Amino acid sequence: MHLADYLQSAMSDYELLTQYTEDAYAKEDRICDRPSCMANIRTGEPCFYVATIEPGQRGRYVCESCHLHYENKRATSVRPTGNRTLQSQGRAPPDPRTIQQLVNAAQRRSTPNPPPVIAVPGGFRPRGPDIRIPTSWQGPQGSSSIRHSSQQGAIGYSSQHALYAAERDRWGKMAYASSLAETILLEITVNICEGRKDVDARIDASGLIKLALETVVPKLRKFDGEFVWRVEEFIIRDAAWVDLSNHPQLVPYFYDQCLQPSRKGTKSTFKSKQFALMVVVLEAQWNEYENWLELRAEMEAEAIRTSCTQSSEHATAHTAVSFNVPSSATTSLAENELFLPSVATNNSVTVSTKRAHQRAESSSSLSAFHSPDRDLLKEVLKIGGGANLNVKQVFGLHSESVQFHPIPTRDITDLLLHKQHHSFLVDTAESSIGQLTIDTSTDGFIGIGGFKTANAGWLTLTAPPKTGLGSVARHKVVVKRPFEKVFPTAMKVGAYKVGRYSLVDELQKLFREANVLYWSKSLLKLTYDFIDRSIASSPEPPPFAVPRVRFVEAGLALCHHQGGSKPGAKTGSTRAVFLLEELIEGGDDMFVKFIHNMDANPLLDELDYGYDMAEFFVFTQHVQYVKTGKLAFISDYQGSTVLLTDPQVLTHPSVSDGCDIFGEGNIEASVSKFEDQHACNEYCGWFGLETFVKEANDDEALVVEN
């Protein structure tokens, strides 16, 4: 009997592979991992771990009803039930020696030694949990035996052999790996963010755990080396909050997410990506750390107070001082493994374990008078007495009374059904009165683009909203204002001066900027609505993390004339207008332009920082193009990996009908050529978007459903 025939006929004797019986109950409240269920599993209720047939893919913790579902599902990982043996079916067990010879003959000679094929001896086994799950049989490299939970087992093949084909492919890929060419970027966080470059893409979960701890723990100890961290209790999780310690060893953790199918579909290509790891400190240990910080601060403060409290008759005497800590406090500290610095004082101090303030039992209530250090006083007198006011910085701060009109984020349905929502409106009823401070000094100048200047500023509204710009006092903002280039000659080349438009032109230009941002927010919301509904309706989550970005909070600020500010000007009339935007932290180092409005492909190269985000934005354009009936999508994606600014809405030529809409940046040809320029990626494929295929000898692109 052939091996494949035997395995197929023996599948009826297999049952669901789960964890140990004692672990079949939830130790804490959790959510069922089956996407179509997502039921709450309370502590003590049945909770089963269901393994998968793919060695590189984690299993799921599911409730009892979902466990029954997977038990009847043919694709679920299985094991022999032991109810029937080969002898009871009238078949003799296969010869292990013959099987081993056939398998070894099929393997390439250059392949490193994979786990050998071993027939598990034994007789009948009672029905019950099989502890030989994949995480337990991953022995050290070169091991030639499989650990058994008992001396009895199923005759012939065990459940591990059902995974033999996948394991053979995995070991073959590892044999021909090129560790130097295929690397990834890691961002490791535990209140301290550290990046690691050139990490081997085939690193497994245990290697990632070791790398994360080696990166973060020295930083923690350098930050506060006196506290003893229990590193063995740290938990390493990925961006999806998956515990890496539950992942099988020797299986690359992120490598599958770096593989992208080629356009021909024949071979997958490797593409370096950036991943995030989080070092999680358990709440109990973190509370101990905070208690230790407070206790140390109290002891240091008490040491300073008691050192200054001396009696006059012992002012010059040398006295040894120490801390007397009650035995109860000592026991409590020892149990929590807190390390306390040794401090010497001249009084007995009682340390309270209730975190109350300590009291020094001093024999004198009067503190000795100390003269200031003469050398230090001399230096500070020189610096303080010679200080001068930075007049340019003070005069560079301009304060304006403004009426602020925020740019809202609306659902696309509201934009279509309500006439007043078709465009952004400068509506007095939706505005707020406040104060705007603009830093026009050199230090406050952020930059200059092709059309606008940007300065730092602060916005304070009289009636602050709950969210958005102005929700806090002195809210940091970027103050943008359009300009025109004034050249000294008619040739319009070389150096130029920054000129300002008239108030009417300035208001029109900034209104169009605000309106483009208004529509961009709506189109991006449409995109995420599509993404969220697709994921909710899918039986399986996507194999990648979906980036979450948004456009900056923004609004128009109209400045008004004050009484006597300008001869002949009417008090309260508009004199200037600014576009205020949320500040993107990080400056130029974090600012990236991902996609240009002249092309539907990433502006970055594959190895550039932010290329993965650019791929996601290409996918969002595909969604918007399809969901708007091929009429519009967002371009000029730029900003950080969290906040975006200065977008451009592109529309089909049939939309404008010859009119100027959405400003000069609306390159309508980009929409007409989108199907020719766009290259689908993994996001487009998983979400089932249309693939645009161009037939030979035909200039028009055809749409083919995936």
The mean-pLDDT minimum among 1-15, 69-83, 632-646 falls in 1-15
Rounded CA-CA distance 77/51 in Å is: 6
DSSP state of 252: B
Question: Could you tell me whether strands 183-189 and 274-280 are parallel, antiparallel, or unpaired per DSSP bridges?
Answer: parallel
β-bridge partners, 437: 399, 458
**How large is the average pLDDT for residues 542-566?**
87
Rounded CA-CA distance 24/65 in Å is: 13
Rounded CA-CA distance 165/54 in Å is: 10
pLDDT beyond 90 at 689: yes
Q: Which residue has the higher pLDDT, 455 or 586?
A: 455
Q: What is the pLDDT of residues 458-474, one digit of tens each?
A: 999 999 998 899 999 99
Confidence of residue 332 (pLDDT cuts 50, 70, 90): very low
Structure tokens at 90: 């009238």
In sequence order, what DSSP letters do the residues of 380-396 get, joined into one string?
HHHHHHT----HHHHHT
Mean pLDDT computed over every residue of the chain = 75
Structure tokens at 630: 């091929």
Rounded CA-CA distance 670/331 in Å is: 72
Confidence of residue 158 (pLDDT cuts 50, 70, 90): low
Q: How many CB atoms lie within 10 A of CB 494?
A: 8
Residue 64, burial from CB neighbour count under 10 angstroms (0-12, 13-18, 19+): middle
Residue 470, burial from CB neighbour count under 10 angstroms (0-12, 13-18, 19+): buried
Rounded CA-CA distance 223/231 in Å is: 15
Rounded CA-CA distance 361/306 in Å is: 9
For residue 350, report the phi and psi dihedrals to the nearest 5 degrees: -100, 125
Kindly state the helix (H) or strand (E) to which residue 551 belongs, with its residue range. Answer: strand 550-551
Q: What is the pLDDT of residues 463-510, one digit of tens each?
A: 999 889 999 999 999 999 999 988 888 777 778 888 899 999 999 999
pLDDT at 359: 43
For residue 480, report the phi and psi dihedrals to the nearest 5 degrees: -110, 145
Nearest to 51 by CA among 163, 146, 171: 163
Alpha-carbon distances of 233 from 208, 443, 477, 618, 619, rounded to whole Å: 16, 46, 42, 41, 40
Token pair 């799921």 is at which residue? 60
Q: What is the pLDDT of residues 429-450, one digit of tens each?
A: 889 999 999 998 888 899 888 8
Rounded CA-CA distance 180/165 in Å is: 27
Instruction: Name, in order, each residue with C-beta under 8 angstroms of 97's C-beta and a sequence gap of 6 or more.
Output: none
Nearest to 604 by CA among 616, 586, 588: 616
CA atoms lying within 13 Å on the CB side of residue 572: 1
For residue 48, report the phi and psi dihedrals to the nearest 5 degrees: -115, 145
Percentage, residues of the chain above pLDDT 70: 66
